[in-house]
Copies of this chain bind each other. A is one copy, B any other.
């Protein structure tokens, strides 16, 4: 049983080998003609330049926090923190490099039809997927093995938790910085190019087109990868930390009550999930049809196979680990928690799809409101996003209740409480909370294949952009469009997983924080989370307000960065003779646009990113009770805002696309103009503020967890 971390580590290595194999297979594909290679290189070097500068900034931040952790907490924790950050950054870099290599190759393959192109795009995404999953699980397991098994350091679990904080730091900055970049470039390209100069999207004359394509890679590939890296690592850390911090309070009996089984169960699920993902990835094959249903089935076959295998294996694992522990009356309960989490993630993704896909009522109702202009379009979109919050929260709470029930059902709570003597510390519901904690791993066990499919989206999108810019045959563009349109629904699934796991993980980390405080004070300081107490209430209120501030800052950041882009694009059109007319040999200065967007977005990233780390630290050193309230407030309000912004934004986007397919007057009509207003408002909602909100919640919780002992003992 103790060997499970080694198994997981092994499976991570296999995943990395698979990533290497896919890398080779993508690399040997034909990248197309000279023009295509040129474009691919432009995009790649832009993305590289961005990441390089982003990592330079973030390194400064990581160093500061590493020093703080070393000083206040533990030097080993500092090491673990840096490893988590470095591996996350590496995963983002690798994924982005391959994605920007796979785009032109997908375009080239599209000349031979979707049957050739789909596997290339998927394999490009799979390099990302399995790098993220392999590095996250491998890194975490390595840290675990080294500090828990080999060095047996004191506070080994604080050290393991710090790995998660490292991953969160990178994720936060990648999401915020990448999100600002991609939207600034997008808005700049659209506003001057499409609206003012009247040239089509992805036109090579537009100086911001390359930046726009770079944005897809740094936002949707590197940002999303770092996000899932931290979600995945976090979902394993949460139940481990919960178990360690709570049961370490009763160390003498720990063995009897199934301590080790509880610790390794999430790792075992991750292990079977990884193997299932690897198997699943081989099921993705392209057909010869551009029919969207068939393509979709081909693409999703991998995920479906992986999930089915994971579910079956989880049941087996639960019985294997817990059957011999007397206190676990019904091991199946824990499997139910895990599967419950998986279903919630699926349901949240489905809800997101219902509210944001043009096959359903909400998007159609927005499209209809375009008839009365942009104002009613905006109002309807806001209303759709807000009502989706209620639906999503209801689903999430059902999931929480099921996971809680599963955990309680699995453990004989009464015997557990008696044996552990934990009743006094409010631990009588340990099983339920553990159930919630492992529910998140259910969602993320198949990260490898989920991210593969998700990273497929921007590759297909870029492939279309290259087809357009390289002025290829319209038939090629048709194939890439068909591939691209799949990307939207696949993104909804990944979003559901990200947001569902964020709430579950944050909740579990929040409980771990409670126990960490108790443990750090040797059982003397029990965190008061009674919202009837004034400190807790003040914390709750502050916590609920912070996501609003964060949203405001990130929206403004996009606005400022975009206006710098607009000025630059206008300048190039005005100052470069022959550019607008498309004169032979006249090229825009794309690199300058990339550089401007990079500088602007990185500058804008600092304040919102910094707030997420600094505010909980400040509150925690003033009052731990207030910090508890703060985290709870931020979790509920941040989740609501995240859903609202993501779904409003997605709904506007698809309402516009729906109109572009010929409804309500079609492209160029006043209705279309109104829809474009909605889409533009939705851009920072869905691609900057919304996704960053999920990470915000977790970063604040995990930074509190890592610093819990320092809060208890005071800063000096």
Residues of A within 8 A of B (CB): 191, 369, 372-376, 378-380, 382-384, 386-387, 389-390, 393-394, 396-397, 400-401, 404, 426, 429, 432-433, 436, 507, 510-511, 514, 527-534, 536-538, 540-546, 548-549, 551-553, 555-556, 558-559, 563, 566, 628-629, 632-633, 636-637, 639-640, 644, 676-678, 680-681, 684
Q: Which residue of B lies closest to A375 (CB)?
A: B680
On whether the beta carbons of B544 and A375 are closer than 8 Å, the reply is: no
On whether the beta carbons of B544 and A376 are closer than 8 Å, the reply is: no
Sample (21) of A-B pairs whose CB atoms are under 8 Å apart: A372-B563, A374-B677, A376-B559, A378-B378, A378-B677, A383-B551, A386-B555, A387-B552, A389-B545, A389-B549, A393-B545, A397-B538, A401-B538, A436-B534, A514-B532, A531-B531, A531-B536, A532-B628, A540-B632, A548-B644, A633-B636
Cβ-defined partner of A532 (8 Å) among B372, B510, B677: B510
User: Main SS of chain A's interface residues?
Assistant: helix
Q: Which residue of B lies closest to A511 (CB)?
A: B532
Given contacts A375-B680, A389-B548, 13 further A-B contacts (CB under 8 A): A374-B375, A375-B681, A378-B681, A379-B558, A379-B559, A384-B552, A386-B548, A386-B551, A387-B548, A389-B549, A397-B538, A429-B534, A540-B632
On whether the beta carbons of B373 and A677 are closer than 8 Å, the reply is: yes
The 3 closest A-B pairs by CB, nearest first: A375-B680, A386-B552, A544-B636
Q: Which residues of B contact A676 (CB under 8 A)?
A: 375
Q: Which residue of B lies closest to A546 (CB)?
A: B390
Give how many copies assemble into the complex: 2
Q: Which residues of B contact A378 (CB under 8 A)?
A: 378, 677, 681
Q: Which residues of B contact A639 (CB under 8 A)?
A: 541, 544
On whether the beta carbons of B677 and A375 are closer than 8 Å, the reply is: yes
On whether the beta carbons of B429 and A533 are closer than 8 Å, the reply is: yes
Cβ-defined partner of A531 (8 Å) among B389, B632, B640: B632
Q: Which residues of B contact A426 (CB under 8 A)?
A: 530, 532
Cβ-defined partner of A549 (8 Å) among B387, B538, B540: B387
CA distance A396 to B540 in the complex (A): 13
Identify which of A191, A552, A633 gathers the most chain B CB atoms within 10 Å of its CB. Answer: A552
Q: Which residue of B lies closest to A191 (CB)?
A: B372
Q: Which residue of B lies closest to A503 (CB)?
A: B541
CA distance A393 to B548 in the complex (A): 11
On whether the beta carbons of A390 and B549 are closer than 8 Å, the reply is: yes
On whether the beta carbons of A432 and B534 are closer than 8 Å, the reply is: yes
Q: Which residues of B contact A549 (CB under 8 A)?
A: 386-387, 389-390
